[in-house]
């Protein structure tokens, strides 16, 4: 997996510390994206001092988001879970399918 954050260089196989640092340094409107192939997770910093989370597993019909502002620990846990290949990220937040959005 590759972590992309703002103007920084992509990081291959980031660990929890790298993810937490990248998320902590975000300013509102900027994002951290974790990518592997056609799958990605994105955390965008919002003005409420939280994160808007989304996940896409390849195609537009497998695109999800969380409809509330998530905390830093939740965003870190979602990204860590994806890296480690467990399913914790699926239950640590309430994911809703994105409908009617052109990709």
Instruction: Write down the pLDDT at residue 101.
Output: 53
Question: Sign of torsion, CA 41 101 7 22?
Answer: negative
Examine residue 103 and state whether it is found in any structural domain, yes or no: no
| Residue ranges making up the domain that contains 40 | 2-97
Instruction: Report in angstroms the alpha-carbon separations of 90 from 3, 10, 86.
Output: 19, 25, 9
Instruction: Report in angstroms the alpha-carbon separations of 72 from 9, 26, 99, 103.
Output: 22, 11, 26, 26
Examine residue 56 and state whether it is found in any structural domain, yes or no: yes
Examine residue 58 and state whether it is found in any structural domain, yes or no: yes
Examine residue 43 and state whether it is found in any structural domain, yes or no: yes
Tokens of 66: 């969380």
The mean per-residue pLDDT over the stretch 30-51 comes to 88
Examine residue 102 and state whether it is found in any structural domain, yes or no: no
pLDDT tens-digit readout, 72-101: 898 988 888 888 888 888 887 889 999 865
Is the confidence at residue 63, as pLDDT, over 90?
A: yes
pLDDT tens-digit readout, 50-60: 999 999 988 88
Going by pLDDT thresholds of 50, 70 and 90, the confidence category of residue 103 is very low
Phi, psi of 67 (to 5 degrees): -90, 15
Number of domains composing the chain: 1
Tokens of 81: 């879970």
């Amino acid at each position: 997996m590759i972590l992309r954050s703002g103007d920084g260089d992509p990081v291959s196989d980031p660990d929890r510390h790298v993810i937490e640092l990248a998320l902590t340094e975000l300013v509102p409107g900027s994002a951290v994206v974790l990518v592997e192939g056609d799958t990605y997770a994105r955390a965008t910093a919002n003005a409420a001092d939280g994160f808007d989370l989304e996940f896409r597993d390849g195609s537009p019909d497998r695109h999800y988001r969380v409809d509330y502002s998530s905390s830093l620990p939740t965003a870190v846990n979602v990204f860590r879970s994806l890296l480690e290949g467990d399913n914790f990220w699926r239950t640590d937040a309430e994911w809703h399918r994105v409908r009617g959005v052109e990709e």
